[in-house]
Amino acid sequence: MSSLWLGVIGSSIALFALRYLGYLVPEKFLTNPRMLRINTLIPIALLSALVGVQTLTEKGKWVIDQRLAGVAVALIALSLKAPYFVVVISAAVTSAVLYRL
């Protein structure tokens, strides 16, 4: 099986297991305040890391290219409270224009 298939199937199984678990265990588990706090912070860390790696690295090397400009425009759009779609499209358009120049 290819690595991509393994990723697709593995993440599907993992996510279903995580979801189903919530319906199986009594509520008193997993409600430790420290664990709850860490759990709300994990997405912030992982998503921010993904932003950084996807913007400034390519195949394990630091790279500055049109993606940085695209993400900078997305950041501006977000600070102007633009809707999600405008944010993504503005980044894509900026990056595409610079790439084609």
Does 5 interact with another protein (rule: CB under 8 A)? yes
Amino acid at 35: M
Minimum CB distance to another protein, residue 101 (Å):
12
Q: Residue 63: which residues within 8 A CB-CB, separation 6 or more?
A: 56, 57
Which residues lie across from 58 on neighbouring strands? Answer: 61
- Residues 41-80 close enough to bind another protein by CB under 8 A: 41-62, 66-67, 69-71, 74-75, 78
Does 96 interact with another protein (rule: CB under 8 A)? yes
Choose among 53, 48, 42, 50: nearest CA to 18.
42
Minimum CB distance to another protein, residue 26 (Å):
8
* Total residues interacting with another protein, rule: CB under 8 A: 76
